[in-house]
Amino acid sequence: MNVFYRIQPNNSEMKILLIVCDGMGDRPCGELGGKTPLEAAYKPNLDRMASEGMCGLVDTIAVGVRPGSDTSHLSLFGYDPREYYTGRGPFEAAGVGMELREGDVAFRVNFGTVDGDLVVTDRRAGRIDDVTELSRAVDGIEIDGIRFTVKAGTGYRAGLVLRGEGVSHMVSDGDSHESGSRVIEVKPLDGTPEAGKTAEAMNKYLIKAHGILGEHQVNRKRIAGGKPPANFILARGAGRMPHIPPMKERYGLKAACVAGAGLYRGVAKAVGMDVYTPEGATGKPNTDVKAKVSKAIELLNSGYDYAFIHVKATDVYGHDGDAKGKMKFIEKVDEALAPVLTLRDTVVAVTADHSTPCSTKNHSGDPVPLLIWSPDLRTDDVKEFGERPCGKGILHRIRGLDLMNELLNLAGRGSIYGA
Ligand code: ZN
Ligand code: ZN
C-alpha cells in the first residue's frame, strides 16, 4: 500500500497550477478496444497524480451543455460566462495582442478572396501566411464615428475592433462560412439604433476595405504569382468587451498563462493573466509541451501564484476523429508532466475544457475528467486518470465554476463566507 501524502510547506498559502488539455474528454473508441484515448494511453505521471490526489468529473458549463472553448475556460477560471461572455471576438482580438477597452466590440476575422461579384472563392485566401501589411492598410479607418482597428494574427487570421459612441455587438456575421456564396451583409440582431448604426458602419467599412485591399501591392503580387488575393475581410463572432475584474483583484493571485493558440491567450489576458508563449509552443500537434511545463514552473518559482498551461492538440485530434493520434499525444503530454511531480508547494489540477469525442468529431456535453494533486487533501481510491475512473472519485461531479473555489480552498487561499 502506497503512502499518499507529501510534506506540507510552512507557508500555508500554496501556489496553483492548472493544466487544461483542450477537448481531451472522449467516449469509448472501437479502435482502442472500447477505451477512451485517455484511458488507453500509457501515462504513468497522470496515473500517479490521480492515485495520490483526488478525482472527479467536471461539467464546465452545465450538465449536458456542449461548451465552446472560450466559455469553458472562463468557467474554469471562475468567471461565469453568462455574465462575461457575448461572443468570441474580443478574446480572439486580445489574443493577437490588441488592447481592448470596456465597451469595445470585436470580431474575429479571416482575410479571404472574393471575385468581382463579391462571391467568396477562398475563405482563407490560399492560406496566406502573413496579413500584417494588409491589416495595416485597412487599420485606423473611421466611419460614422466608429473607429476600425485591425491587427494581424497567425496566417490569414486577424482581429477587428470597433470603438465609438453607441457601438453594439448585436450584429450578425459578415461571413457565410462557405465558399461559393456571396459575402453577406452584416445585419442588426435587435431593434436598437446602436445595432442599426453598427451594422451600417460595418458594411461601409468592409466595402471600403475591399477597395483598398484590391489595389494593394501585396495582392497585386499574389495575383501576378497565380495566388488568390486576400481582398475581403470575413468577420464573425461579434462580442462586446465586458468589464472583467482581474484575477489579482478577485482572488489575490498573480497569474500567468502559458499557451500557444490565440483564443486562450486572449481569454487569459482578459481575466488579467500575464501571457507567455515559449518557443516551440505552437498550439498544434507539434507543440513543445515540455517547454510549456518548464516555463510554467519557472513562473511559479519567480513570483507568480497561479499558472495556467493550455494544450490544444488533444482537441485537434478529436475533431479529426483520430483516436490513436489523440492517445499518443496524451502520452506526450504525460511525459512532459514529469517535472510537475517534483513541485512541493503547489496545488496541481489537470482537466479539459470539454470533450471532443473522436466518434462525433465535435465538442460534446460529456463531462471531463479532473484530478487535483496536492499535499493536503482527501485522497480517494482512483488509481488511474480517465473518464470512467474519475467518475468514481471523491470530487464526484462539479461545475467548471466550482473548480476555482476548490483550488483556492486547497491552496489555503479561500476566504470565509460569513463569520
Ligand atoms: Zn476547447
Ligand atoms: Zn474544438
**Which of 161, 169, 105, 170 has its CA nearest to residue 138?**
161
Cα 20 to averaged position of ligand 1 atoms, centre (Å): 9
CA–CA distance, 261 with 278 (Å, rounded to integer): 12
CB 254 within 8 A of CB 159: no
Q: Can you spell out the DSSP letters for 56-69?
A: EEEESSSTT----H
Indicate which ligand has the atom closest to the C-alpha of 70: 1
What pLDDT band is residue 138 in, cutting at 50, 70 and 90? very high
Pick from 239, 268, 301: which residue ends a domain? 239
Is 261 among the domain residues? yes
Cα 357 to averaged position of ligand 2 atoms, centre (Å): 10
Same domain for 180 and 272, yes or no, is no
Same domain for 101 and 176, yes or no, is yes
Number of domains in the chain: 2
| Cα dihedral sign, 161-162-166-172 | negative
Question: What is the average pLDDT score of the chain?
Answer: 94
Cα 206 to averaged position of ligand 2 atoms, centre (Å): 28
CB 178 within 8 A of CB 184: no
Indicate which ligand has the atom closest to the C-alpha of 362: 2
CA–CA distance, 186 with 200 (Å, rounded to integer): 8
CA–CA distance, 186 with 89 (Å, rounded to integer): 15
Same domain for 370 and 271, yes or no, is yes
Cα 366 to averaged position of ligand 1 atoms, centre (Å): 13
Same domain for 59 and 172, yes or no, is no
Phi, psi of 44 (to 5 degrees): -60, -35
What pLDDT band is residue 270 in, cutting at 50, 70 and 90? very high
Is 7 among the domain residues? no
CA–CA distance, 62 with 399 (Å, rounded to integer): 6
Cα 287 to averaged position of ligand 2 atoms, centre (Å): 16
pLDDT tens column, 186-210: 999 999 999 999 999 999 999 999 9
Cα 162 to averaged position of ligand 2 atoms, centre (Å): 27
Percentage above 70 pLDDT, the chain: 97
Is 65 among the domain residues? yes
What pLDDT band is residue 220 in, cutting at 50, 70 and 90? very high
CA–CA distance, 155 with 353 (Å, rounded to integer): 25
Indicate which ligand has the atom closest to the C-alpha of 72: 1
Same domain for 327 and 393, yes or no, is yes
pLDDT tens column, 103-124: 999 999 999 999 999 999 999 9
CA–CA distance, 118 with 114 (Å, rounded to integer): 5
Pick from 204, 239, 274: which residue ends a domain? 239
Cα 120 to averaged position of ligand 1 atoms, centre (Å): 28
CA distances from 408 to 19, 56, 61, 405, 415 (A): 15, 17, 20, 5, 9
Q: Has residue 16 got a pLDDT over 90? A: yes
Mean pLDDT computed over 232-255: 95
Is 415 among the domain residues? no
Three cell numbers written together for 174: 459578415
Same domain for 261 and 233, yes or no, is no
Q: Has residue 167 got a pLDDT over 90? A: yes
Look up the domain containing 274 and give its range. Answer: 15-84+244-410
Residues 6+ apart with CB under 8 A from 40: 29, 32, 33, 327
CB 135 within 8 A of CB 109: no
Same domain for 171 and 61, yes or no, is no
Indicate which ligand has the atom closest to the C-alpha of 69: 1
Same domain for 261 and 235, yes or no, is no
Residue 255 DSSP SS3: strand
Cα 4 to averaged position of ligand 1 atoms, centre (Å): 32
Same domain for 295 and 392, yes or no, is yes
CA–CA distance, 197 with 202 (Å, rounded to integer): 8
Q: Has residue 419 got a pLDDT over 90? A: no
Is 255 among the domain residues? yes
Q: Has residue 7 got a pLDDT over 50? A: no
Same domain for 297 and 312, yes or no, is yes
Is 23 among the domain residues? yes
Cα 392 to averaged position of ligand 2 atoms, centre (Å): 26
What per-residue confidence (pLDDT) applies to 1? 40
Cα 94 to averaged position of ligand 1 atoms, centre (Å): 17
Q: Which residues surround ligand 1, an ion (CB under 5 A)?
A: 22-23, 69, 315, 353
Provide the whole-model pTM. 0.90
Mean pLDDT computed over 73-97: 95
What per-residue confidence (pLDDT) applies to 3? 44
**Which of 362, 348, 328 has its CA nearest to residue 16?**
348
DSSP lists the bridge partners of residue 236 as 108
CA–CA distance, 314 with 22 (Å, rounded to integer): 6
pLDDT tens column, 371-400: 999 989 999 999 999 999 999 999 999 999
Three cell numbers written together for 234: 470575413
Same domain for 100 and 175, yes or no, is yes
CATH code where residue 400 lies: 3.40.720.10
Pick from 193, 222, 239: which residue ends a domain? 239
Is 352 among the domain residues? yes
Residue 43 DSSP SS3: coil
Same domain for 222 and 322, yes or no, is no
CA–CA distance, 95 with 169 (Å, rounded to integer): 19
Q: Has residue 284 got a pLDDT over 90? A: no
Is 263 among the domain residues? yes
